[in-house]
Amino acid sequence: MTSQSEDDIVRRALLGVLVPNPQALQLTIRVHCALKKKRRLPRQLINKAFSPAELEAPPSRVSILEQLSSKSLSVYWSDPRSGHYANQVWRIGIARIDAYCALSGMPICRGDAVYRPRVSPTYLPANHNRMILAAVVPELPKARALKSESGGLF
């Protein structure tokens, strides 16, 4: 009913779909990955650039107990939502997002020097996303100097 040439055309088309040419397949994969990367990057940038800084309520009580070194502080933190930390170590770093200072309420811009609670793979405090602006931290005497003046008893 069908001619021999029509059967060959159908077979070749079917083989072309089921077993594609390796070079054409690689090209298709590369184009798909490139398009995926191209679409992915701007979406991330837009979300980060235009998302407003979250205004969280300030903690009930926060105070700096002592300056342990030039890069770390000992902070007293008490808040019904994030818990109580009597002697929490905070380390200096750079703000990755816009936020508000937990100590003063001043706005923190991305790139500002800030103190954050120390985290590790085994320890993630509830207030790990909060920051203290380094500019509002008063100059405190270092803990070692205080210990040596008091004869080791603190």
Report which of residues 20 and 67 the model is more confident about: 67
Q: What is the pLDDT of residue 154?
A: 41
Q: Judge if 40 and 100 occupy the same domain.
A: no
Look at residue 3 in the predicted model and tell me its pLDDT: 67
Residue 83: inside a domain: yes
More confident residue, 92 or 34: 92
- Domain assignment of residue 116, given as a range: 61-149
Over the stretch 93-151, which tens digit does the pLDDT of each residue have?
999 998 899 988 889 999 999 999 999 888 899 898 899 999 998 876 555 444 444 44
Residue 89 has pLDDT above 90, yes or no: yes
- Going by the DSSP 8-state scheme, the letter that residue 135 receives in this structure is G
Distance CA 86, CA 128 (A): 15
| Residue 30 and residue 94 in one domain | no
Q: Are residues 88 and 19 in the same domain?
A: no
Examine residue 70 and state whether it is found in any structural domain, yes or no. Answer: yes
What distance in Å separates the CA atoms of residue 114 and residue 136, rounded to the nearest whole number? Answer: 10
The whole-angstrom separation of Cα 153 and Cα 97 is: 40
pLDDT of residue 120: 87
pLDDT at 39 over 70: no
13 with 36, same domain: the answer is yes
Domain for residue 55, yes or no? no
Which pLDDT band holds residue 9 (cuts at 50, 70, 90)?
Answer: confident
Name the domain count of the chain. 2
Going by pLDDT thresholds of 50, 70 and 90, the confidence category of residue 2 is low
Q: Give yes or no: residues 19 and 77 share one domain.
A: no
Residue 129 CB neighbours (<10 A): 14
Evaluate whether 66 touches 139 at the Cβ level (below 8 Å): no
In a domain, 132, yes or no: yes
Answer yes or no: do 142 and 67 share one domain: yes
In a domain, 117, yes or no: yes
Percentage with pLDDT > 90 across the chain: 26
Question: Across the chain, what does the average pLDDT equal?
Answer: 76
